[in-house]
Amino acid sequence: MPKTAQIFQTPKGFHDILPQDQKYWERLRKVVRTLAAEYGFKRIDSPIAEDSGLFSKTLGLSSDIVEKQTFTFKTKGGDSLTLRPEGTAGVMRAYIEHGLSVMPQPLKLFYFGPMFRYEQPQSGRYRQFYQFGFEVIGESDPVIDAQLIKVFYNIYSELGIKGLTVQINSIGCKVCRPGYRSLLKDYYRNRVKKLCSDCRRRFKENPLRLLDCKDEKCQLFKSQAPHTVDHLCKECHDHFKSVLEFLDELELPYNLNPFLVRGLDYYTKTVFEIWPDSAQTQVAALGAGGRFDDFIEVLGGKSTPAMGAAGGVERTVNLMKVQEIKVPSAGIRPKIFLIQLGDRAKKKSLVLFEEFRKAGLAPAEAFSKQSIKAQLRIADKIGTQISLILGQKEVMDGNIILREMSSGVQEIIPLEKILNEVKKRLKK
């Protein structure tokens, strides 16, 4: 009995980005690149693998990402590396390592690439997923918070996504947060046995993350918990007040969410999420971020304020499909189609293709097809305006047949004049 061939599939939690989806991805990339340039952000790319200590030190040992969701492995040399679960840590590490503090501040950077988290795959969540992120380093002014929120709101608006709302909160700083943590623990102390297992652990290690739980029974207790904004120090209170005033000036729709804390330990002061219309999607926030003024100091650099945010690519693309947002096809739409018949014509057509391509006219072809009828059918299907037909006789005579696809009218043109003739007709 012959062996059955093994059929390979993508690993659990990973996915292919198929040709029919590329137009959505390219549209998002283009919007991110354009807005980054307009707001003065420069591109940075960090490695997908970093020293494991970078994430345990900055994300927090008690965070779900570090505890349960990292792809960590040992190299042959014994080093512990982790596939990046988020983008900020690598950018901040690069900021310190390459002395970017000597550049004019604030330094505005953005990235676009894959992240990796070993979590249970579900609708809209993957173990390899893509994010775009924006970081502003070296400025504490609350206007930075408001403008970055506006950048992300503009990205989703530019894509055509409807029903956007900003959820915003302040979680204080290292001055006022310890007092709030104590209040929160006092509130939960007699309720801790009724919480989910994750929250019982969070109560001991990071009580602020009790407010981040999505478990239904924990939601009931959370609704009566003390609010962070009621226990801010004067500096954090004034900072947050200014952020909201700037958002009012920008006329951005926002909701104060006293239970918004985000899932990573490095955040301080402003935190925010951008949500679409909840009636149209069950996924989480499209984009989120906040201020992390202590991050660089934790990594061994000098105290440097910073603000950043990231957006999920897959969930954004999925929502664009749900809202039936029309997106132009990725790539160049050809206006000319080269049709050939016979070996000599095929060889000449190869040369003509390069001449048209270098002239910026983006031709299309089906050189592997032998039938003129089949090639004309393809030219018609992709919507080219002009077909150029070259057979053995035309090669010998130094001519080519120009066919207007809309009318079917054909004309014989000398080969040496065909490039200029096509340019002239396309201008019309």
Cβ atoms < 10 Å from Cβ of 339? 26
Contact 287, 273 (CB under 8 A): yes
Architecture of the domain delimited by 19-176+232-322:
2-Layer Sandwich (3.30)
pLDDT computed for residue 211 by the predictor? 87
Residue 51 — left, alpha, or beta (φ > 0 → left; ψ -120 to 50 → alpha)? beta
3 state SS of 167: strand
pLDDT computed for residue 68 by the predictor? 62
Is the sign of the CA dihedral 117, 118, 124, 128 positive or negative? positive
pLDDT computed for residue 213 by the predictor? 81
pLDDT computed for residue 283 by the predictor? 59
Residue 256 — left, alpha, or beta (φ > 0 → left; ψ -120 to 50 → alpha)? beta
- Residue 190 CA, chain-centre distance (Å), reads 42
CA–CA dist 254, 368 (Å, integer): 57
pLDDT computed for residue 247 by the predictor? 97
CA–CA dist 147, 240 (Å, integer): 14
3 state SS of 129: strand
pLDDT computed for residue 145 by the predictor? 98
Contact 340, 391 (CB under 8 A): yes
373 Cβ contact partners less than 8 Å away, ≥ 6 residues apart: none
Domain boundaries, the chain: 19-176+232-322, 336-427
What are the backbone dihedrals phi and psi of residue 411, each rounded to the nearest 5 degrees, phi first? -145, 140
pTM: 0.88
Contact 309, 289 (CB under 8 A): yes
Ranges in the chain, pLDDT < 50: none
DSSP one-letter string for 11-68 = PTT-----GGGHHHHHHHHHHHHHHHHHTT-EE----SEEEHHHHHHHT-TTSHHHHH
pLDDT computed for residue 4 by the predictor? 76
Architecture of the domain delimited by 336-427:
3-Layer(aba) Sandwich (3.40)
At 84-104, the pLDDT tens digits run: 999 999 999 999 999 999 999
177 Cβ contact partners less than 8 Å away, ≥ 6 residues apart: 171, 208, 268
Angle at 170 between CA 50 and CA 34, to 5 degrees: 60
3 state SS of 306: strand
* Cα distance between the two ends of the chain: 66
pLDDT computed for residue 234 by the predictor? 97
Contact 87, 131 (CB under 8 A): yes
